[in-house]
């Protein structure tokens, strides 16, 4: 399957591809994205129209996967999936709406099926997923409770320190550790979906719907 992955860094994209291949039960063929000069959650929204148009008109990609961090924004909830329930500050809700609008604007291409999409939200960051199964205190539920109380159970820097041994990893180290943890997680994706049901769960459900 020919799949493009868009996330906040090349390291995240490598890990996301590994996780998606675990969900699919097979390897995917990587489709290159247009050159991206900046990374982070905000640029993902900025480049998304360009990426989708490029994939639709210029490639034979079958699917696009997008995963971003939630940081301190509202965590996606099941109620957001109900008719009229989308929450504007929720980054996953915003991603879904942006993708819907962009795809609606794309002209049909002869012999070309619409590009499938799978969207996920790492709560509060990809490093939290990498700690799944290693630290029982790291979960969507714990983060949601921390947001509600104003007392976060951990910080993103603490997650980075736990995963990389430093809160400022090089891209090489970040990629190596991200892929290692993703390879571990694909051995028990049910655990990851249980501890991160809304952010990773949404991604997994999208992929399984292809």
Question: What are the tens digits of pLDDT across the range 22-32?
Answer: 999 999 999 98
Residue 26 near residue 186 (C-beta atoms within 8 A): no
Q: How many Å from the N-terminal Cα to the C-terminal Cα in the chain?
A: 11
pLDDT at 102: 96
Residue 192 CA to residue 80 CA, distance in Å, equals: 21
pLDDT at 112: 85
pLDDT averaged per 10 residues, the chain (length 210): 95 97 97 78 92 94 97 84 78 95 92 93 97 96 93 95 96 97 97 96 96
Tally the domains of the chain: 1
38-61 confidence digits (pLDDT tens): 678 888 999 999 999 999 999 999
pTM: predicted TM-score of the whole model, two decimal places: 0.92
Residue 184 CA to residue 170 CA, distance in Å, equals: 21
Number of Cβ atoms within 10 Å of the Cβ of 182: 23
pLDDT at 113: 87
Q: Which domain holds residue 94?
A: 2-208
């Amino acid at each position: 399957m020919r799949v493009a992955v868009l996330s906040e860094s090349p390291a995240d994209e490598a890990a996301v591809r590994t996780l998606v291949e675990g969900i699919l039960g097979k390897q995917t063929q990587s489709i290159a994205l247009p050159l991206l000069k900046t990374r982070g959650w905000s640029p993902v929204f900025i480049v998304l129209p360009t990426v989708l148009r490029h994939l639709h008109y210029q490639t034979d990609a079958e699917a696009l996967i997008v995963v971003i961090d939630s940081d301190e924004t509202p965590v996606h909830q099941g109620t957001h999936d109900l008719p009229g329930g989308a929450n504007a500050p929720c980054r996953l809700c915003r991603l879904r709406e942006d993708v819907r609008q962009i795809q609606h604007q794309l002209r049909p291409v002869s012999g070309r099926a619409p590009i499938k999409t799978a969207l996920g939200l790492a709560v509060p960051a990809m490093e939290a997923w990498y700690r799944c199964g290693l630290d029982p205190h790291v979960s969507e539920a714990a983060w949601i409770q921390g947001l509600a109380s104003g007392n976060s159970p951990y910080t993103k820097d603490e997650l980075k320190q736990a995963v990389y041994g430093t809160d400022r990893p090089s891209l090489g180290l970040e990629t190596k550790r991200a892929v290692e943890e993703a390879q571990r997680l694909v051995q028990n994706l049910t655990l990851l979906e249980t501890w991160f049901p809304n952010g990773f769960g949404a991604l997994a459900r999208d992929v399984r719907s292809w």
